[in-house]
A and B are shown apart, each in its own frame.
Chain A
Amino acid sequence: MRREFCNRIEQLGERDNKVIFLSGDVGFKALEGVQKIFGERFINMGVAEQNMISVAAGMALEGYKVFCYSIAPFIVYRCLEQIRNDVCFHNLPVFIVGNGGGYGYGIMGPSHHALEDLACLGGLPNMTAYIPAFDNDINYTLETILAESAPAYLRLGLGKYNPLLTPAGFFHPVVTPLSAQVTVAALGPIANNVLEALENPAIKDKADVFSVTKLPIKELPQSFVQSIKKTKKLLVAEEHTSVGGLGQSLASAILKENILLNSFISLTSQGYPEGLYGNQGYHQQKSGLDAQSIGKLLESL
């Protein structure tokens, strides 16, 4: 997904000289092309994330649209006040790009994971979070962020290219078999795990799968409402803590719509339940978010 992101950013850099790209001293074997194309509009800000966000706000006040790029936890937590006061209060086009959302940086350990980034940013005024699920979501997402020209957080994870999917929104059905008995809502790249789980012939047509790639949710789409009214069973999966994530958002929206379900299951990241560390797949498995665990759960429903 990062490769796809860099390719699209390079195109943006060529097209629009009002776009600036700031990096928090990261980007080896990724941002070299961006650096070359942006020229003086690419700045390595050094290891100084607070300054990066405030400088971006200053540049945005001068009419630029500014991407700030780093590893997800570094660009969210360290500089949360700069994001809130400088960017969000002033409603500025500063786009915060966090690479490796969730357990993306795997064995690097918890300092490099972002499991509560959406909770931290979700309550800020004017902020929208984008969590693309597939590589082919990237272009559409970037075009939307630029057109909105308002504070945005882009959480990059590990997604695949999905040739069946042409993104047409940020909360949309990916598969909708006629015989669906359960509805699945997946946040960002976890949709890849859900689709992999459904490759098992035993559950192939068991679930409607919705990909959610933007928070907050303003309104439940009709296709989703129809699906949960039919199945009455909802499974929400996200690589994020239960607080401030997709599960809570959907629970609240569904209650407001007065829709009664027989079953609501929320799969979230569980942190480090045994205090042990591994790669992203290891941590997903410990939280029941890997394809196999999701498959077993779907079989039991």
Chain B
Amino acid sequence: MEELFKERLRQSRIKILETHYKAGAGHIGSSLSCIDLMGTLFFKEKTNADTFILSKGHAAVALYVCLFITNEITEEILASYYKNGTMLPVHPPPLKFAGISFATGSLGHGMPVGAGMAKARKLKQDAASFIYVLMSDGETNEGSCWEAAHFAVKHKLNNLIILIDKNRLQGFGKTDEVLGDTSSVDQWRAMGFEVVEVDGHNSHEITTAIQNFKKTATTAPKLIIANTIKGKGVSFMENKLEWHYLNLTTAQYQQALEELTKNSA
């Protein structure tokens, strides 16, 4: 079981690289930074009754690849990514795939929508399922996240599990330098969230955090702050702002492929 899970994580990293390279599309750094979080959900912890929202929509390739590996998106559809006439634009589209419960692309929408779903499940007295929302650390600049945070605490949405992909880089600068750290443990704990900090590339830590959250008896909404590395696994991409945007040359692709194959082995 654990072997299959690790193999799927390895495959998804390589598939992300291949998809970005073939399409000539940017945002690869964002996909590589959160694939361990998403993979842990899609290949291990998320049940069919649970819902996942990718609030940082610019990491859509990671989501598409997870759905490819879990057989919801075909090879042919995935290969159409970024091309004219595709169902897979750079940010997740509405009303196309069951695994894409909500279309995003503008930051600060996933958390309040997830909070609404979590509240609705409380009203329906559905205590068996969870809502997962994956955000970026830069995304917590958005005021709408904080509106949703107040709502989630007030309504005791302990069925809401937020994951922050904290790679410390945002659109045009380091997160610490742009507005300061808006995804600090202290801030979110002070809001009333139950917070745990993990290494966002350590699937064992991620799994343990999620399993513990599912078991806790507290009424607080949950937050996993995952310390991650933008462009994780590729030496020339790691922690580099430009890999939010750049496309890969053939030589870069081959080097990246070699490194990802070796690092994940």
Contacts and interface: CB of A to CB of B under 8 A. Distances in A.
Given A61-B101, A61-B102, A63-B120, A54 B143 contact: no
B16 to A, nearest CB: 25
B37 interface: no
Interface in B105-138: 105-106, 108-109, 112-121, 123-124
Interface residues of A, number: 27
B151 A58 contact: no
Given A40-B123, A90-B94, A90-B102, A50 B117 contact: no
Interface string B205-247: 0000000000000000000000000000000000000000000
B115 A55 contact: yes
B119 A89 contact: no
Contacts of B95: 89-91
A252 interface: no
A48 B116 contact: no
Given A50-B112, A90-B95, A45 B117 contact: no
Given A51-B144, A62-B120, A90-B102, A57 B150 contact: no
B103 interface: yes
A85 B144 CA distance: 14
B195 interface: no
B103 A58 contact: no
Interface in B13-60: none
Interface in A22-78: 40-41, 43, 45-46, 48, 50-51, 54-64
B120 A54 contact: no
A81 interface: yes
A268 interface: no
A20 B123 CA distance: 10
A51 B112 contact: yes
A contact patch SS: helix
Contacts of B120: 58-59, 61-64
B94 A58 contact: no
A48 B104 CA distance: 20
Contacts of A58: 112-120
A50 B113 contact: no
B103 A89 contact: yes
Contacts of A4: none
B106 A51 contact: no
Nearest to B124: A62
Contacts of B114: 58
B69 interface: no
B109 A55 contact: no
A22 to B, nearest CB: 9
A60 B112 CA distance: 13
A181 to B, nearest CB: 50
Which among B106, B108, B112, B121 has the highest number of chain A CB atoms within 10 Å?
A: B112
A86 B113 contact: yes
Contacts of B144: 50-51, 54, 82
Q: Of residues A41, A50, A58, which shows the largest number of chain B Cβ atoms within 10 Å of its Cβ?
A: A58
Contacts of A91: 95
B119 A55 contact: yes
B50 to A, nearest CB: 13
B262 to A, nearest CB: 41
B116 A55 contact: yes
B147 interface: yes
Contact of B116 (A54, A85, A89): A54
Nearest to A58: B116
Nearest to B110: A54
A60 B116 CA distance: 8
Contact of B94 (A54, A55, A81, A89): A89
B103 A85 contact: yes
B116 to A, nearest CB: 2
Nearest to B114: A58
Contacts of A50: 108, 112, 143-144, 147
B169 interface: no
A54 B101 contact: no
Contact of A81 (B106, B123, B124, B147): B106
Given A86-B109, A89-B103, A51 B148 contact: yes
A57 B144 CA distance: 14
Contacts of A90: 94-95, 102-103
A55 B120 CA distance: 9
8 contacts: A48-B151, A50-B112, A55-B116, A61-B102, A62-B121, A85-B109, A90-B94, A90-B103
Interface of A: 20, 40-41, 43, 45-46, 48, 50-51, 54-64, 81-82, 85-86, 89-91
Given A45-B151, A55-B112, A55-B113, 8 more contacts: A46-B151, A54-B112, A54-B113, A54-B144, A55-B148, A64-B120, A85-B105, A86-B109
Q: Which 9 A-B pairs have the closest CB atoms?
A: A58-B116, A54-B112, A62-B120, A55-B116, A51-B147, A48-B147, A58-B117, A58-B113, A59-B120
